[in-house]
Amino acid sequence: MIERKDGQDPRVDDERPAKPVADVIVARDVHKWFGQLHVLRGINLTVRAGEVVVIFGASGSGKSTFIRTINRLEEHQRGQIIVDGIELSDDIRNIAAVRREIGMVFQQFNLFPHLTALQNVTLAPVRVRGWSRDKADQAAMGILERVGIPEQAHKYPAQLSGGQQQRVAIARALAMQPKIMLFDEPTSALDPEMISEVLDVMRELAESGMTMICVTHEMGFARAVANRMVYFDEGLIVEEGPPEQIFGSPQQARTRQFLSQILH
Amino acid sequence: MTAATLPPPRETGGPSAWLRQNLFSTWYHTVLTVVVAVLIGLFLWQVGWWAVSEARWGVVTTNLRLFLVGQYPFEQAWRIWLSLATLSVLAGLSAGRYGTAVRTLAMWLAAGQLLLGGLAAISGMALAVPALLLLNAALVWIAFLVSVRRPLPRRALLFGWIASVPISFLLLSGANAVGLPTVSTNLWGGLLLTVLIATVGIVLSFPFGVLLALGRRSDLPAVRLLSTTFIEVVRGVPLVTVLFMADIMLPLFLPGDVRVDRVARAIGGITLFSAAYVAENVRGGLQAIPTGQIEAANALGLSAVQRNRFIVMPQALRSVIPANVGLFISLLKDTTLVVIVGLLELLGIGRAVLAQSEWFGAQLEVYVFIGAVFFVLCYTMSQASYRLEEALGVGQR
């Protein structure tokens, strides 16, 4: 399985990347077990700075688990994950350093319900980056404006719609000025009429040059924004390539079958 | 055809409609209502008649001093007044700085002092007592007004509260080194002792309980085992036993020249006991925090300590306010058990008063009085807790 990947992607080789800045995420032969269940069975993936990668696949295929290993919400048990030149290990300083580079957006938003939208956004810059309250507030208002909800700054999450909550969650991640953004099915918990407001923010973010990995089934978004699409099945990358290839002429039978199920 | 937007149905209102609907809707409802009303009226009439004409309230008024401060020496009473004044000023200042919950507590403190002042006045105590109580209630109000104009920093207030506990204790017990004659805690009693034990017990058991709850969920096996053992052992034993242990066993384990004060031992026992229950309440709150909250905090790069302090604890503690206040109310009432280690708090003083021959048979008056005092204290706490829940939006966000 690894040979196949190596043959396909010349950027994955056995030496450390010469310029870690260019390859901001390098995953080599990543394995993960939940008890007896082998959920990641040797994932190889390299993401360059500014690239937008969309990961798709059936539920249980390991795609969420994989992006959660990138900021160590899940621990990988074999293989290597290198983020911006820092290899993830048990060392909490490495984990902290990696998490400072990565922002994450969750399916269930996971906003802090006891804090206002603004406080949600400023918490980490103040406590982790050590910014002054004024500086953090100013930056946060700028970001809330960017995601289109500055007027909701002083509301609590429970007073916001799902789409607004997810945009606050994106603002919260952006406030840490990450180099990489991870999106774990960001629109799956939203009512249909709210999906586009979140996708618009993500599209704008991609156009600004942010490095993004998105687990999503929004194929319209993938076709328009992704540089590369990656199909996961049973803990493996079955196929990857630009959207034109995935939608136009998928190489693998399993990819074709999955796409035919979700694109009616 | 489009459906018209209709106004909501009009509520048929008025108190008479309510009465008709709820009390007199059918002939048997009417009968029941009349019978119950007559019974309640008879009962209230009896109680009122007893309270006004038969009850010998002299047992309370002549012994009011004992009920309030026990046998604390008369000539040292200024120390109690000073402590009370400190409490009043701190409460007033905090009420101006913090929200409605603290305001409720401060308001009740002032009202309670006025109530006691009124009681002291009709009991024929020296005029200074009601006057000073009135002054204290005024202090709460003045400090509140000052604080609203110019709020003190939270840190200063917190420091004031923390410092006030040992200072008050020292002031009340005295120290020969600084020229204050010592007043043995055996002489402390009544409401003074009840409030002291309950307040210190609540204030100390809360942080200790939170630490125990965190300890029980710790990743370190030794910490987890110690916390779990402590909680299970303490919860498996009646409070009376813990108090006996604190009173009798503790001195046996300590070297002979180390003497821990009897009141301090009782407070220690109650604190440890209550901390175990606080810990289990808080653990319930911790378990209710969705894992997504912890993941979000981790993903933002918060450290474990920051995560607990800013994300987990505020949510966990908020959700267990009702349970914890219930616990603290029962702690207040459980202070009556220190009688068994020879301390005369309010209830103990009541029994001592009843042992006087001239008040033989006045049980009802004494217990009604003590019950009323406890009710006011507990009701204050529960009202403050409702205000706190409202202010923090429990159950809303």
What are the residue boundaries of the structural domains of chain B, listed by start? Answer: 59-183, 187-358
pLDDT mean over A38-66: 94
Position A108 pLDDT exceeds 90:
yes
Q: Which amino acid is at B193?
A: L
**DSSP states of B65-83 as a string?**
HHHHHBT--GGGHHHHHHH
Q: Is the dihedral of CA B377, B382, B383, B388 positive or negative?
A: positive
The alpha helices in B123-189, defined as continuous H runs, are 128-149, 154-173
Give B356→chain A minimum CA distance, Å: 56
State whether residue A43 is helix, strand or coil.
Answer: strand
- Answer yes or no: are the C-beta atoms of B274 and B327 closer than 8 Å: yes
Give pLDDT tens digits along chain B (397 positions). 567 788 887 776 778 888 888 888 888 989 999 999 999 999 999 999 998 888 888 888 889 889 998 888 888 888 999 999 999 999 999 988 887 888 888 998 999 999 999 988 888 788 888 999 999 999 999 999 998 888 888 888 889 988 888 888 888 888 777 778 888 888 888 999 999 899 889 989 999 999 999 999 988 999 999 999 999 999 999 999 999 888 887 777 777 676 777 888 888 899 999 999 999 999 999 999 999 999 999 999 999 999 999 999 999 998 898 899 999 999 999 999 998 888 899 999 999 999 988 888 888 999 999 999 999 999 988 988 888 888 887 655 5
- In degrees, rounded to 5, the angle at the alpha carbon of residue A252 between the alpha carbons of residues A250 and A258 is 75
- Answer yes or no: are the C-beta atoms of B227 and B279 closer than 8 Å: yes
- In degrees, rounded to 5, the angle at the alpha carbon of residue B23 between the alpha carbons of residues B21 and B24 is 75
* Dihedrals phi, psi of A242, to nearest 5 degrees: -65, 155
Give B318→chain A minimum CA distance, Å: 9
Q: Does A58 touch chain B (CB under 8 A)?
A: no
Chain A hits for B295, CB-CB cut-off 8 Å, are 73, 106, 110
- Answer yes or no: are the C-beta atoms of A230 and A45 closer than 8 Å: yes
Mean pLDDT of chain A: 90
Helix H or strand E segment including A183: strand A180-184
How many Cβ pairs within 8 Å bridge chains A and B? Answer: 63
Query: Hey, are the CB atoms on A173 and B300 less than 8 Å from each other?
Result: yes
Confidence at residue B394, expressed as pLDDT on a 0 to 100 scale: 60
- Choose the weakest-confidence range: A49-53, A62-66, A202-206, B383-387: B383-387
- Select the residue of B292, B302, B393 nearest A127 (Cβ to Cβ): B302
Best to test chain B binding among A70, A72, A73, A168 (most B CBs inside 10 Å): A73
Confidence at residue A12, expressed as pLDDT on a 0 to 100 scale: 42
Q: Does A154 touch chain B (CB under 8 A)?
A: no
**DSSP states of B309-350 as a string?**
IIIIHHHHHHHTHHHHHHHHHHHHHHGGGGGGGT-EEHHHHH
Q: Does A73 touch chain B (CB under 8 A)?
A: yes
Nearest CA to A199 out of A222, A165, A176 is that of A222
- What does the pLDDT look like over A111-159, one tens digit per residue? 999 999 999 999 999 999 999 999 999 999 999 999 999 999 999 999 9
Q: Which two tokens stand for residue B300?
A: 């933002």
Q: Beta strands of A49-179 (E only): which ranges? A: 52-57, 78-83, 86-87, 102-105
Query: Hey, are the CB atoms on A123 and B303 less than 8 Å from each other?
Result: no
Length of chain B: 397
Q: Does B310 touch chain A (CB under 8 A)?
A: yes
- In degrees, rounded to 5, the angle at the alpha carbon of residue B290 between the alpha carbons of residues B287 and B293 is 120
Contacts of residue A264, Cβ cutoff 8 Å, sequence gap at least 6: none
Contacts of residue B329, Cβ cutoff 8 Å, sequence gap at least 6: B378, B381, B382
Confidence at residue B397, expressed as pLDDT on a 0 to 100 scale: 53
Give A16→chain B minimum CA distance, Å: 26
* Dihedrals phi, psi of A37, to nearest 5 degrees: -80, 125
- Beta strand pairing call for A23-34 and A78-83: antiparallel
State whether residue A37 is helix, strand or coil.
Answer: strand
Query: Hey, are the CB atoms on A176 and B301 less than 8 Å from each other?
Result: yes
Chain A hits for B317, CB-CB cut-off 8 Å, are none
Closest-CA residue of chain A to B392: A114
Query: Hey, are the CB atoms on B300 and A106 less than 8 Å from each other?
Result: no
- Answer yes or no: are the C-beta atoms of A45 and A27 closer than 8 Å: yes
Instruction: Supply the angle between the helices B100-122 and B77-97 in degrees, to the nearest 10.
Output: 150
| Residue B117: CB atoms within 10 Å | 19
What is the fold, at CATH topology level, of the domain defined by B187-358?
Answer: MetI-like fold (1.10.3720)
A43, β-bridge pairs = A30
Closest-CA residue of chain B to A130: B302
Confidence at residue B75, expressed as pLDDT on a 0 to 100 scale: 84
C-alpha A261/C-alpha B11 separation (Å) is: 54
Q: Does A177 touch chain B (CB under 8 A)?
A: no
Query: Hey, are the CB atoms on A114 and B303 less than 8 Å from each other?
Result: no
pLDDT mean over A196-213: 95
C-alpha A80/C-alpha A28 separation (Å) is: 5
Nearest CA to B92 out of B133, B134, B132, B141 is that of B141
- Answer yes or no: are the C-beta atoms of B320 and B287 closer than 8 Å: no
C-alpha A245/C-alpha B271 separation (Å) is: 69
State whether residue A249 is helix, strand or coil.
Answer: coil
C-alpha B57/C-alpha B64 separation (Å) is: 10
Chain B hits for A103, CB-CB cut-off 8 Å, are 299
b/e per residue B185-199 (b: at least 16 CB within 10 A) = beebbbbbbbbbbbb
* A4-13, A171-180, B114-123: range with highest mean pLDDT: A171-180
Q: Does A71 touch chain B (CB under 8 A)?
A: yes
Interface of B with A in 44-103 (CB under 8 A): none
C-alpha B175/C-alpha B59 separation (Å) is: 34
Query: Hey, are the CB atoms on B298 and A99 less than 8 Å from each other?
Result: yes
The predicted model scores a pTM of 0.81
Q: Does A127 touch chain B (CB under 8 A)?
A: yes
Q: Which two tokens stand for residue A121?
A: 């956004």
Confidence at residue B125, expressed as pLDDT on a 0 to 100 scale: 81
